[in-house]
Structure 1
Amino acid sequence: MDVTSDKDTLPDQVSLREAWLFWFKLGWISFGGPAGQIAIMHAELVERRHWISERRFLHALNYCMVLPGPEAQQLATYIGWLMHRTWGGIVAGVLFILPSLIILIVLSWLYIAFGHTSLVAGLFYGIKPAVTAIVLQAAYRIGLRTLKNPGLWVIAVASFVAMAIFQTPFPTILVAAALIGYIVGYIIPAQFMAGTNHSKLDRSYGPAIIDDTTLLPEHTHFRWSRLLTVITVCALLWIVPMALLVSQFGWFGTLTQMGWFFTKAAFLTFGGAYAVLPYVYQGAVEYYGWLNPAQMIDGLALGETTPGPLIMVVAFVGFIGSYTNTLFGTDLPFLAGATAAVAVTWFTFLPSFLFILAGGPLVETTHGNLKFSAPLTAITAAVVGVIFNLALFFAYHVLWPQGLLSSFEGPAALITLIASVALFYFKRNVIYVIGACAVMGLIYSIVWR
């Protein structure tokens, strides 16, 4: 199905400066978690600017959804690399996260300094139910773009059941989905071929700079020498700061353990920001005790209200953990928190640049190759089920904060319902919904609590 485009001719090539200005702007306006950020990039790069075609965009997205880490930031890095080589990818990826890092350091300090007040507590009572509705909407929006036929729906439901009921590790779900996608794509290729569904998702927005038939630029060709260079540089960028942390604080120091834990999180967790959060929760709250469950959900709420990837909640975790542990002494708690926020951000996002810059050439060679694209599509469908499971995870902690044997939070349930209606039916902006829910929580805390 084609849609009318303002441009019937191929758009002009984009200069590196123009691209950098766009990525800088995107870093400040990319609200709404990964689903919202991907939607913004799709609207700007595919529909409006015609930098990349719909199918090339979704092919890159499928790869990023497979990777551990934040898919929206990785997608920005991938498109930046595709258009302007290595530095284009680095700048796109860095500018995507830099504004949110700065904002979260400030908000984390305000939270830890004034979060005990009744005003802030009331605001967060309303924000937490809104976060639950937002995560649920994320599952819906990604599913709307991904689940194009009954087979993909079956994969999504099966992944939800596997994780919610049988506690199946996500890497296992990932492998199973990829295997199913490969087999079904071989036996029934129509299930995974673009264009088999004549829905509104299968569109052409006119000629693009990187179109379906565009020849691969030279820098996207795979070369062993380039792969080894990327791996070596990224390894040094990890080894040097980790060695400095060990020399200053020892292996069991808080900053060192944060660097090691978030490195593992970056490599061992799949499905993007929403899928990684249960792992971060388990490690940061239950194992290391850097913060408590309520603070973790509050940190997610702050992450939802700031631009950039939702996984930037790791900056909040690092800040709170180092601030409360007075890592640099009682006189410098803010410096300790800010240092930890920067450190965990470095260790969390460095692997994402490795995955894109090293794996991009391999992925570009699979464009249009069904035996590679079918497993990617199946994995993306599985992620939808995982995100829906995460929505239930947060709903449980919001509605029964002390466990199922405790009292049910009726006001929180009502706010969740209102937020869901606003997001799903009235299509309200996520920031407005969070603001309205914060006000409702504040009113409830003042009048009835």
Structure 2
Amino acid sequence: MSDTNTNTTTTQQLASPARYSLWQLVCYMLALGSCGFGGPVALVGYMYRDLVERRLWISESDYKEGMALAQLMPGPLAAQLAIYLGYVHYRVLGATLAGIAFVLPSFLMVLGIGAAYVEFGGIAWMQAVFYGVGAAVIGIIAMSAYKLTSKNIGRDKLLWAIYLVSAILTLLTQSESVWLFLGAGLLVWLLRVPPKRWLGGRLHGVAAVLPLAAVLAAASSQWDLLAQLGAFFAYAGSFVFGSGLAIVPFLYSGVVTEHHWLNDRQFVDAVAVAMITPGPVVITTAFIGYLVAGFWGALVAALATFIPCYLLTILPAPYFKKHGKQPGIVAFVDGVTAAAIGALTGAVLVIAQRSITDLVTALLALATLVVLWRFKKIPEPAIVLVAALLGLMLYPLLSHP
């Protein structure tokens, strides 16, 4: 009887009309892709703040399901969450348009910067800009991580334990592990939903949320440079788990060490471009592709990176929408969410180690955090712009090479 009620409730929830149009969602994703600074931690925080808390377009449970799916599947976290949120009410069309709208602005920006980089032989001023922006971003993502933690973890001791373990492991290893997310979800599932309630023909549900990346493995090709770029970035998009934090060392080993497409200086500049432009951090793949093979290289690299994450979001999405309200799945998602937020919090500390290099950057990060705490209506892009200007002014005065 309870199963029947659950299924009825789920059907009603699926049938409930959206409180927004598809065009409104596309416009929001375009705006976020154009002005959303701070990397994956900040971007998923913006989506929660804007779509769940302020506009009430997305329910708490749908957001948590999207976060869990994005953490379990390989590829860029924020882009996957945007795709899933598009799927919630508008299915494949919504997922497709939301994903394109989210990625397109930063792709166009990276193309422009790439053209300037090639034309003028490097971007010397970027170090100064990133000096200020990198510090401010720490304050932005720290506030986002705090909001996600306070809202989703609450006073639940089990979720707090998972959260802390995930944060510490991320900090120590400087990477994110899908096995930690899976283990956290299964642990909460086992402890909160006795096996007798879900073993009866539902164990196949676990398989539905396991990574499907192997289906999309891209065979290495030596046809030409574009084929090599496509094969490498498709592999990166299909098998690298976690956020932009995880893909950078993987890209370095392939782009610099293995293929010798870029040198160390160019690769550092590529990562800096991704950090000072809004949208997903992995858009750095488009910049790398542009340096290697011009416009078509950028297009191939971007498509090869994002198509796998798109497929690995919409393929399991129907399962999450159909069965996501069952007690066992809710417990599993709670565990994955706690581990995911813990990993994002650990990532804040990892990024801080690289961006806060002296007293000035420490003060900039602290000032950003205080401003966001006290003046909640100040838009993040305004803070990033001020930080960039401060970087341009202060960096030359501090005798940096």
Same fold (TM over 0.5): yes
**1-side partners of 2:115 and 2:256: how far apart?**
19
Aligned twin of 1:430? 380
Q: CA deviation at 1:143?
A: 2.4
Q: TM-score, normalised by structure 2?
A: 0.75
Aligned twin of 2:283? 312
Aligned twin of 1:159? 166
Tell me which of 392, 397, 401 is aligned to 1:447: 397
Structure with the largest fraction of helix: 2
The verdict on how the C-alpha distance between 1:36 and 1:392 changes in structure 2, with shifts beyond 3 A counting, is: closer
One-letter amino acid matched to 2:313: I
Query: Does the 8 A contact of 2:159 with 2:338 survive in 1?
Result: yes
Aligned twin of 1:60? 66
**1-side partners of 2:305 and 2:91: how far apart?**
22
Does residue 78 in structure 1 map to residue 105 in structure 2? Answer: no
The verdict on how the C-alpha distance between 1:146 and 1:113 changes in structure 2, with shifts beyond 3 A counting, is: farther
> 5+ residue gaps in structure 2?
1-15, 196-204
Q: CA deviation at 1:23?
A: 4.7
> 5+ residue gaps in structure 1?
1-9, 189-221, 323-335, 401-408
Tell me which of 104, 109, 128 is aligned to 2:110: 104
Once the two structures are aligned, what percentage of the paired residues are identical? 29
The verdict on how the C-alpha distance between 1:447 and 1:51 changes in structure 2, with shifts beyond 3 A counting, is: closer
**2-side partners of 1:413 and 1:289: how far apart?**
35
Query: Does the 8 A contact of 1:127 with 1:301 survive in 2?
Result: no
Q: CA deviation at 1:283?
A: 4.2
Q: Calculate the aligned-residue CA RMSD, in Å.
A: 3.7
Q: CA deviation at 1:37?
A: 3.6
**2-side partners of 1:342 and 1:77: how far apart?**
19
Does residue 387 in structure 1 map to residue 344 in structure 2? Answer: yes
Does residue 415 in structure 1 map to residue 352 in structure 2? Answer: no
Query: Does the 8 A contact of 2:178 with 2:242 survive in 1?
Result: no
Query: Does the 8 A contact of 1:275 with 1:390 survive in 2?
Result: no
The verdict on how the C-alpha distance between 1:379 and 1:15 changes in structure 2, with shifts beyond 3 A counting, is: closer
The verdict on how the C-alpha distance between 1:150 and 1:274 changes in structure 2, with shifts beyond 3 A counting, is: farther
**2-side partners of 1:15 and 1:159: how far apart?**
37
One-letter amino acid matched to 2:158: G
One-letter amino acid matched to 2:229: M
**1-side partners of 2:54 and 2:310: how far apart?**
26
Aligned twin of 1:337? 294
Aligned residues: 366
Does residue 178 in structure 1 map to residue 185 in structure 2? Answer: yes
Larger radius of gyration between Structure 1 and Structure 2 = 1
Q: TM-score, normalised by structure 1?
A: 0.68
Tell me which of 341, 346, 357 is aligned to 2:314: 357
Query: Does the 8 A contact of 1:35 with 1:142 survive in 2?
Result: no
Aligned twin of 2:10? none
Please give the secondary structure, in 1, of the residue aligned with 2:279. coil
**1-side partners of 2:23 and 2:124: how far apart?**
47
Matches within 5 A, 1:37-436: 37-47=43-53, 50-111=56-117, 113-114=119-120, 119-148=125-154, 149-165=156-172, 170-186=177-193, 246-247=222-223, 249=224, 253=225, 255-285=226-256, 287-288=258-259, 290-291=261-262, 298-320=269-291, 322=292, 336-399=293-356, 409-424=358-373, 426-427=375-376, 428-436=378-386
Aligned twin of 1:199? none
One-letter amino acid matched to 2:190: I
One-letter amino acid matched to 1:316: F
